[in-house]
Amino acid sequence: MNSRPLTRRQALKAAGAAALAAPLSGQTPSQAQTGQPVPPPSASTGRINQSAARWCYRKYSIDELCQNAKRIGLKGIDLVNHEDWPTIQKYGLMPAMTPGAGTIPVGWNHKENHDKLVAEMTENLARASAAGVPNVITFSGSRNGLPDSEGIENCIAGLNRVKKLAEEKNVTICMELLNSKIDHHDYQCDHTVWGVAVVKAVDSPRVKLLYDIYHMQIMEGDIVRTIRQNINYIAHFHTGGVPGRNELDQTQELQWRTVATAIGDLGFKGYFAHEFNPTAADPMKSLEQAYQLCNV
């Protein structure tokens, strides 16, 4: 890894969010490694479509990442720009989440951004639809002094301008829930109730939330109950260990197998993407460990 690793914010920007491996060991992680029981790979093909965020594996070429992802059992790669889609699809994987419109600080909550965001979203929805890509990411933006109620109203107004196109193109726009406590200070869509208020009002099957479990554990906890109560408004999940946003192992406060089982029990058919910063000497081994832990 580089001595100064790229942040997720930088990675999204570099991938065009505003317009947006090593051989496996073949060993199954043990309970001692994960802190939770893990079945052997042959025990189940799994009910959840797992994927991995591209930016977390920058040391690998896209081909190397896809080769390993395929061997592990992943179904897709997350947060990838359209230049990488053909390679991902070549391996029978899905570009599960791609750029839609905006950046983390610049989003739909400020009306002056709407015309630019609509243009970006129009272009990216058409591109995603043509390639059979299911989801595009978008953001509320930072508050910059804006009251929450006004931010909700502005996001509703902006997303209403693109929802019909998303429905026509059969692509889901996913507004991401992020924490404003540690990683993205002043980000407005930082609680589930805020994001759900937007999605409910827009009232489209193609405008939903990207529920980032790492971020929401930091902001509000109560993960399983919140997911169960709001699954109709969620189209995509991200993972990441709390604290630290590292591997899903015994150092983390969440029982990831319990969370994954709850999602599987709800019949969720979208993607469940691993978005943690690997600290292991072999990042593909820790990704495999996360896959097995959440393979329910």
Percent of the chain predicted with pLDDT > 90: 84
- Round the average pLDDT of the chain to a whole number and report it: 89
How high is the pLDDT of residue 10?
Answer: 52
| C-alpha–C-alpha distance, residues 138 and 105, integer Å | 11
> What is the per-residue burial (b if ≥16 Cβ within 10 Å, else e) of 87-102?
bbbebebbbbbbbbbb
Share of the chain above pLDDT 70, in %: 85
Q: Which fold has domain 53-294?
A: TIM Barrel (3.20.20)
Predicted confidence at residue 9, as pLDDT, reads: 54
8 pLDDT band, cuts 50/70/90, is low
For 31-84, write each residue's pLDDT tens digit: 334 444 444 443 446 899 999 999 999 999 999 999 999 999 999 999 999 999
pLDDT of res. 273: 98
